[in-house]
Amino acid sequence: MLLSLVIGTGESPVGRAWDFLLGDPAARADAQIRPAVMDVRLPRTLAALLVGIGLGAAGCLLQAATHWPKQLCRA
């Protein structure tokens, strides 16, 4: 997940995005890296996380509804 926050298309280097995530004041003040991370990469990563959680829950519920072997869906 951290890679999706620091790697992306554009001209911002990986190290600069990493510095931004670690709280470096100079990186936080950078007008180019802030929108790339906060407006594009972070929402994309959170959406992927929520979709993954939703798909996992849906699969578990489908297994429970069809009485598929219970060992496949342990909490």
Q: In whole angstroms, how far apart are CA 10 and each of 46, 49, 50, 54? A: 20, 23, 25, 30
CA geometry: angle at 23 spanning 14 and 15, to 5°? 15
Looking at the chain, the number of H-run helices and the number of E-run strands are 5, 0
Kindly state the DSSP code that residue 23 receives in the 8-state scheme. T
The rounded mean pLDDT for the chain is: 85
What value does the mean pLDDT take over residues 67-72? Answer: 64
DSSP state of 69: -
Q: pLDDT value at position 70?
A: 60
Q: Mean of the pLDDT values across residues 50-75?
A: 81
User: What's the mean pLDDT in 1-10?
Assistant: 79
Decide which of 49 and 62 is more confident. 49
pLDDT digits (tens, 9 = 90+) for 24-53: 899 889 888 888 889 988 999 999 999 999
pTM listed for this prediction: 0.74
E strands, the chain, are: none
